[in-house]
């Protein structure tokens, strides 16, 4: 009888251990935050993004981010959709919060908000969903589960200004901006400083359209600037910049000998400058000030997958780490211009020259060169 009782007791203990073991495995599998902190394998990590109103195919900022996420997904054998990589497009500012919430409900591990206009929506949703990692591009959100991604746009824009100053034939160039903001100010300030550093006598026309998704406004602004004597326009206007290209190509179609150029932004916009006249192909993209949002989102996604998500910090990309640069597609820049661009690039990386990134710094920089801001 004693042996029988011991046998029953042993069986009950063994069964109890199995039940507890099973419960422990289930809890561990649901501990999402713990999995993130320790890193995830390729198959269990997911990443998505919310565009600003420029749209995913804006040929610029959002498109670059989406290309980076797509490249990351393909490198890790992820599929588009839930559990892999995806995006939601915002048609208006009112879509930001709902789109971020929708991706969080779909259990994406890392969600990017593309553009400074998503600063408040990211802050709101990140505060509600603390187990989700977020990334905000072009703004700062001070929360432990958010990484803020910034760029030294003024450095690439400075090189674009050098190129424009070296290549202009009229000593008259232009800048078309979207909405006035700290980001676009950095583009303008760097560009104007680069132009003045080469030749302070060159005129720079500036036109802010007030929108990132209005190609007609970009076309109108470009028409005005070209009509006032400029032969090169640098745009930092998102999809509005498509109108700048449209105006330049229209002028080239009307007169193939017209000396009109556009400097693209964010992505390499060489293809946007292609125009055909009487069966002959031309291209009016002089160069592009690249802002490697694609590399940034890939870098942050990899860190997050590896369990090294830099939450609560600001990561800034510049010339020194190839976060910004100037494209050479099409070989439209002369050897003399390329030499000058590379010389200024080295000065910036070495700290000998600091391109201005604010209106105040720009005004001071220009005044030192004898230019009235």
Alpha helices in the chain (DSSP H): 2-30, 32-37, 61-75, 95-105, 119-128, 153-167, 182-198, 215-227, 241-254, 293-305, 335-350, 359-368
Mean of pLDDT values over 299-323 = 96
pLDDT for the residue 54: 83
Answer yes or no: is pLDDT of 82 > 90: yes
Q: How confident is the model at residue 6 (pLDDT cuts 50, 70, 90)?
A: very low
**CATH superfamily, region 153-290+334-368:** Response regulator (3.40.50.2300)
Mean of pLDDT values over 1-15 = 41
| Residue bearing the bigger pLDDT, 161 or 60 | 161
Q: How confident is the model at residue 3 (pLDDT cuts 50, 70, 90)?
A: very low
Q: Which backbone phi and psi does 280 adopt, to 5 degrees?
A: -110, 135
Asked if 276 contacts 252 with a C-beta cutoff of 8 angstroms, the reply is no
Mean of pLDDT values over 340-355 = 98
Mean of pLDDT values over 240-260 = 97
Quote the Cα angle for 272-277-281, to 5°. Answer: 55
Answer yes or no: is pLDDT of 9 > 90: no
- State whether CATH 3.40.50.2300 applies to domain 41-151+296-302: yes
Q: How confident is the model at residue 4 (pLDDT cuts 50, 70, 90)?
A: very low
| Residue bearing the bigger pLDDT, 249 or 43 | 249
Mean of pLDDT values over 74-102 = 96
Mean of pLDDT values over 353-366 = 98
Query: DSSP code of 49?
Result: E
Could you check whether 41-151+296-302 and 153-290+334-368 share the same CATH topology?
A: yes
Question: What is the pTM assigned to this prediction?
Answer: 0.85
Cα–Cα dist 364/74, whole Å:
46
Q: How confident is the model at residue 39 (pLDDT cuts 50, 70, 90)?
A: low
pLDDT for the residue 10: 40
For the chain, the average pLDDT equals 90
| Residue bearing the bigger pLDDT, 87 or 32 | 87
Region of 149 (left: φ > 0; alpha: ψ -120 to 50; beta: rest) is beta
Query: pLDDT tens digit string along 17-36?
Result: 333 333 333 333 333 343 34
The residue ranges of every structural domain in the chain are: 41-151+296-302, 153-290+334-368
């Amino acid at each position: 009888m004693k042996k029988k009782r011991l046998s029953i007791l042993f069986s009950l203990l063994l069964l109890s251990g199995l039940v507890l073991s099973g419960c422990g495995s289930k809890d561990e599998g649901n501990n999402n935050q713990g999995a993130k902190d320790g890193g995830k394998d390729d198959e269990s990590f997911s990443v998505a993004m919310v565009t600003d109103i420029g749209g995913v195919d804006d040929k610029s900022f959002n498109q670059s981010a989406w290309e980076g996420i797509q490249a990351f997904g393909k490198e890790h054998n992820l599929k588009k959709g839930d559990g892999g990589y995806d995006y939601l497009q915002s048609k208006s500012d009112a879509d930001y919060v709902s789109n971020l919430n929708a991706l969080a409900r779909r259990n994406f591990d890392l969600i990017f908000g593309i553009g400074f206009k998503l600063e408040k929506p990211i802050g709101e949703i990140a505060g509600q969903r603390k187990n989700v990692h977020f990334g905000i591009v072009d703004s700062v959100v001070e929360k432990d589960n958010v990484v803020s991604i910034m760029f030294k746009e003024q450095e690439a824009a400075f090189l674009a200004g050098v190129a424009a100053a070296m290549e202009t034939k009229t000593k008259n160039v232009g800048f078309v901006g979207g909405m006035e903001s700290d980001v676009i100010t950095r583009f303008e300030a760097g560009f104007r400083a680069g132009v003045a550093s080469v030749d302070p006598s060159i005129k720079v026309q500036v036109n802010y359209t007030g929108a990132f998704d209005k190609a007609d406004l970009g076309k109108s602004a470009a028409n005005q600037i070209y009509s006032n004597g400029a032969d090169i326009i640098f745009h930092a206007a998102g999809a509005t910049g498509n109108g700048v290209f449209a105006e330049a190509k229209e002028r080239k179609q009307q007169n193939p000998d017209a000396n009109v150029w556009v400097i693209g932004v964010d992505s390499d916009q060489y293809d946007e400058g292609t125009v055909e006249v009487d069966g002959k192909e031309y291209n009016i993209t002089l160069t592009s000030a690249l802002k490697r949002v694609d590399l940034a989102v890939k870098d942050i996604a990899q860190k997050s997958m590896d369990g090294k998500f830099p939450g609560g910090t600001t990561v800034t990309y510049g010339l020194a780490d190839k976060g910004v640069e100037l494209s050479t597609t099409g070989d439209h820049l002369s050897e003399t211009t390329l030499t000058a661009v590379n010389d200024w690039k080295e000065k910036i990386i070495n700290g000998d020259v600091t391109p201005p990134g604010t209106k105040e710094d720009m005004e001071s920089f220009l005044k030192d060169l004898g230019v009235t801001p």
